[in-house]
Amino acid sequence: MGDAAARNFQYLAYGLIAVWAILAVYVLTLVSRERRIGREIESLKRMIEDREGK
């Protein structure tokens, strides 16, 4: 495969990786936000239980 053709394929790879990386980043932000929400809900539930326990 010639030099130009190889570079061409390289860029194709970059392109595909870029598309999937962007979607992956979004999924990761969703996941991390989910975790943060989970933690906050837990801590608030505990706070309410404590208060009711008193």
**5/53 with CB nearer other proteins:** 5
Give the shortest CB-53-to-other proteins separation in angstroms: 13
Contacts of 1 (CB under 8 A, 6+ apart): 9
What does the buried/exposed string (b/e) look like for 5-25 if buried means 16 or more CB atoms within 10 Å of the residue's CB?
eeeeeeeeeeeeeeeeeeeee
Task: Answer yes or no whether residue 28 interacts with other proteins by CB under 8 A.
Answer: no
Q: Which residues bind other proteins (CB under 8 A)?
A: 4-5, 7-9, 11-12, 14-16, 18-19, 22-23, 25-27, 30, 33-34, 37-38, 40-41, 44-45, 47-48, 51
